Amino acid sequence: MEPDYVIVGAGSGGSALAYRLTEAGHKVVIVEHGGSDAGPFIQMPAALSYPMNMGLYDWGMKSEPEPGLGNRSLVTPRGKVIGGSSSINGMVFVRGHACDFDHWAESGATGWSYADVLPYFKRMESWHGGNDGGDAAWRGQSGPLHVTRGPRENPLFGAFVEAGAQAGYPVTGDYNGRQQEGFGAMEATIWQGRRWSAANAYLRPALKGGNLTILRGLARRVVIEDGRAVGVEYERGGKVVVLRARAEVVLAASSLNTPKLLMLSGIGPAAHLAEHGIAVVADRPGVGANLQDHLEVYMQFAAKQPVTLYKYWNLWGKAAIGAQWLLTKRGLGASNQFEACGFIRSDAGVKYPDIQYHFLPIAVRYDGRAAAEGHGFQVHVGPMRSKSRGAVTLRSADPRENPVIRFNYMSHPDDWAEFRKCIRLTREIFAQPAMAGHVKHEIQPGRAVASDDEIDGFIREHAESAFHPCGTARMGRADDPMAVVDPEGRVIGVRGLRVADSSVFPRITNGNLNGPSIMTGEKMADHILGRRLPAENLEPWLNPAWGHAQR
């Protein structure tokens, strides 16, 4: 078997890429270490806390102790399953703000401005929010990825949006359309009650077409001969095999595993490779650098009225929800429960939102542990554009070992000021009449946590990753010493090798990263195929008062 293209990773970027290459008639093999996504833990949206905590589906990576967070080591789940992290994530769908992509283009990723990427966001989606406000001209109607909105039957969702409006913020009918800024309905990759992962959207249709094969195995390195990538070495059942590609090799193994594979293949900072006895093929100091993520805290409130999901947080309640979902694909099991959200600016002079809210009608952790106080609700909040940068490096030359991950969270002084604003602005929103009727008291951090030092202490102890790592093989100009790939996704200094995942992001985008990661796979496919959708110059909304007002 010698396919045209070998892709490493059956996740968000790799799945979209494979779909478009096979659709164009090419033979593609994906090398994927993980296995099947069958079963209720992945397919049932409300069960989202399970797969990301299961070794069967997760690579089990952790950060090194983070000095800015009291030397805590944070888990960084990445999907080890077909569909990749789209099979274990929270299913929240956010494109990112138009200005994010314009910033990419300005920083050297020519051809990746918002006008350039919007056609790909449209091509990839089938959007089902049209009866609920929204901006049809900005949205796609016939793509593989279904994007829906939850029913928002719980009164707390409407109360949260109304409280945002009462605090003076805009309400938006479609944060993925013309106007991101404001409060409104959250969108999700859920369709007909099931998680609509990249596996469901892209891989299954591509497998039916006959041009795609998925090989199970652990990718060890890219095989490079005379400066050209010619295949991938992988391990399966104790045997090491080389799979050759006629045209190109594409890495889409995540922003944590892609830089690891590049370095194992001799592409990376020369001195670091030498430390591990790896012969240098291309000295690219940017490989593994520029690591970014979103941090967030969970602000939790005890509820005055028993309208939260806590009443189901017991064996019988969960069993009833699960049984209803198994039989009908309806009910509470068919939602990720993130059905309302907000994007706001932290200060006057901030051009576009830099704070994101996910609202949840229960007080619970990502690992599924509920708050001790019974009925409650929470909002996940954090700054979108931290100035801190980390790195992914090799632990050893053994491909079976996870890389060393250092995010350097909260290492920039601005991070602390921005995070304090998040907490104070959130308290103000929850004090508005629409939410005040529901709030009994603040559980976490608790009203007593008020001074800068007290808030900083809370952040240090309680901030969690939102699981949005990116940036470790960033796109830029071919003459930029810290760029790893050019704007076509080609690894600089090696022929026949590209990257098509969130590693290439020059800077992290606003919101959850699954949407932009899939878009990256879609667009890189066109770069490979030598075609391009025409740019669309729709004008996004910026708050006219941004220069002098926070809201």
Whether residue 209 is found in the same domain as residue 281 = yes
Whether residue 201 is found in the same domain as residue 334 = no
What was the pLDDT predicted at 364? Answer: 84
Residue 6 within a domain: yes
Q: How far is the first Cα of the chain from the last one, in angstroms, to the nearest whole number? A: 59
Helix H or strand E segment including 464: strand 464-465
Residue 551 within a domain: no
Helix H or strand E segment including 378: strand 376-383
Pull the structure tokens for residue 533: 């959708």
Provide the annotated binding site. 81, 89-92
Whether residue 256 is found in the same domain as residue 237 = yes
Residue 396 within a domain: no
Whether residue 225 is found in the same domain as residue 252 = yes
Q: Where is the domain boundary, 447, 462, 477? A: 462
Residue 56 within a domain: no
pLDDT tens sequence across 157-190: 999 999 999 999 999 999 999 999 999 999 999 9
Whether residue 156 is found in the same domain as residue 223 = no
In this prediction, residues 92-112 reach a mean pLDDT of: 98
Residue 46 within a domain: no
Q: What share of the chain is helix, strand, coil (3-state, %, to 5)?
A: 30, 25, 45
What was the pLDDT predicted at 479? Answer: 96
Residue 373 confidence class, pLDDT cut points 50, 70, 90: confident
Q: Are 516 and 501 in contact, with CB atoms under 8 Å apart?
A: no
Whether residue 260 is found in the same domain as residue 378 = no
Cβ-Cβ contacts under 8 Å for 389 (sequence gap 6 or more) = 289, 290, 291, 292, 408, 471
DSSP 3-state of 151: coil
Average pLDDT in the chain: 96
Q: What percent of the chain has pLDDT over 90?
A: 95
Report the C-alpha gap between 168 and 410 in whole angstroms. 29
CATH number of the domain that residue 363 is part of: 3.30.410.40
Whether residue 173 is found in the same domain as residue 120 = no
What is the CA angle 452-458-460, rounded to 5?
A: 100
Whether residue 445 is found in the same domain as residue 378 = yes
Range in 133-142, 335-344, 365-374, 426-435 with the lowest mean pLDDT: 365-374
Active-site residue, 468 included = yes
CATH number of the domain that residue 32 is part of: 3.50.50.60
pLDDT tens sequence across 234-255: 999 999 999 999 999 999 999 9
Report the C-alpha gap between 135 and 178 in whole angstroms. 7
Provide the annotated binding site for FAD. 81, 89-92
Map tokens 């890219």 to a residue. 222
Cβ-Cβ contacts under 8 Å for 301 (sequence gap 6 or more) = 363, 376, 377, 378, 430, 438, 439, 440, 441, 442, 443
Residue 394 within a domain: no
In this prediction, residues 332-338 reach a mean pLDDT of: 96
Residue 91 within a domain: yes
Whether residue 492 is found in the same domain as residue 525 = yes
What was the pLDDT predicted at 207? Answer: 98
Whether residue 17 is found in the same domain as residue 94 = yes
Kindly tell me if the per-residue pLDDT of 367 is higher than 70: no
Kindly tell me if the per-residue pLDDT of 34 is higher than 90: yes
pTM: predicted TM-score of the whole model, two decimal places: 0.98
Beta bridge mates, 357: 342, 381
Cβ-Cβ contacts under 8 Å for 219 (sequence gap 6 or more) = 8, 9, 31, 33, 232, 233, 234, 253, 261, 399
What is the CA angle 8-212-533, rounded to 5?
A: 80
- What single-letter amino acid sits at 93? F
Whether residue 208 is found in the same domain as residue 248 = yes
Active-site option among 358, 468, 527, 548: 468
Whether residue 486 is found in the same domain as residue 363 = no
What was the pLDDT predicted at 401? Answer: 97
DSSP 3-state of 122: helix
In this prediction, residues 364-371 reach a mean pLDDT of: 70
Considering its fold, how many domains does the chain have in total? 2
Q: What percent of the chain has pLDDT over 70?
A: 99
Containing structural domain, residue 517: 1-41+64-147+195-292+468-531
Report the C-alpha gap between 219 and 198 in whole angstroms. 20
Residue 142 within a domain: yes
Q: Are 203 and 82 in contact, with CB atoms under 8 Å apart?
A: yes
What was the pLDDT predicted at 225? Answer: 98
Cβ-Cβ contacts under 8 Å for 229 (sequence gap 6 or more) = 222, 223, 245, 248, 249, 491, 494, 495, 496, 497
pLDDT higher at 69 or 1: 69
What was the pLDDT predicted at 133? Answer: 79
DSSP 3-state of 358: strand
